[in-house]
């Protein structure tokens, strides 16, 4: 997505891996190993990260007529993203807590840094209500 600086995904061809192995493995060997690895990982590859959840959760903020709403949203997003990136340095946080919990916590901490006249209590409460509603519906993707 050019907007977020992401590169387009390229599909790798199976024969490229066969060629890289210089005859050590044929397509069936590579496909079998891929199935084994995915089964071992229980297909948990590329799970949503706390940073991804920050983006999803901030969509719960109601649209209002507060001055400079785009700037407030941008600041919330950047502060929350920064905090989720810092959480990787804390082993307990990054391994014991769900990515959505880390993201939600980061957003709450970020909201605390913004003055109430810039991000009114009513907007915060609407966010909390929306988050509570979807959390009761199992929005995290993990049991």
Contact predicate 84/50, CB 8 Å = yes
Other beta carbons within 10 angstroms of residue 107's beta carbon come to: 25
Which pLDDT score is estimated for 3? 46
Residue 142 has pLDDT above 60, yes or no: no
Per residue in 9-18, pLDDT (tens digit) is: 677 788 898 9
3-state secondary structure (DSSP) of residue 97 = coil
Residue 6 has pLDDT above 90, yes or no: no
Length of the chain, in residues: 143
Per residue in 65-108, pLDDT (tens digit) is: 766 888 999 999 999 999 999 998 888 887 889 999 999 999 99
Query: What's the pTM value of the predicted model, to 2 decimals?
Result: 0.67
Per residue in 35-68, pLDDT (tens digit) is: 999 999 888 788 888 999 999 999 999 887 766 8
Residue 124 has pLDDT above 90, yes or no: yes
């Amino acid at each position: 997505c050019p907007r977020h600086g992401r590169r387009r995904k390229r599909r790798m061809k199976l024969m490229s891996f066969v060629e890289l192995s210089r005859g050590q493995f044929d397509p069936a060997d590579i496909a079998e190993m891929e199935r084994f690895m995915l089964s071992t990982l229980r297909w948990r590859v590329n799970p949503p990260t706390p940073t991804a959840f920050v983006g999803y959760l901030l969509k719960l903020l109601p649209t209002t007529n507060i001055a400079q709403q785009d700037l407030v949203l941008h600041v919330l997003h950047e502060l929350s993203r920064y905090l989720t990136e810092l959480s990787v340095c804390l082993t307990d946080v990054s391994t014991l807590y769900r990515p959505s919990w880390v993201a939600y916590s980061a957003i709450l901490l970020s909201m605390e840094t913004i003055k109430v006249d810039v991000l009114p209590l009513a907007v915060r409460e609407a966010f909390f209500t929306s988050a509570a509603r979807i959390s009761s519906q199992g929005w995290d993707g993990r049991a």
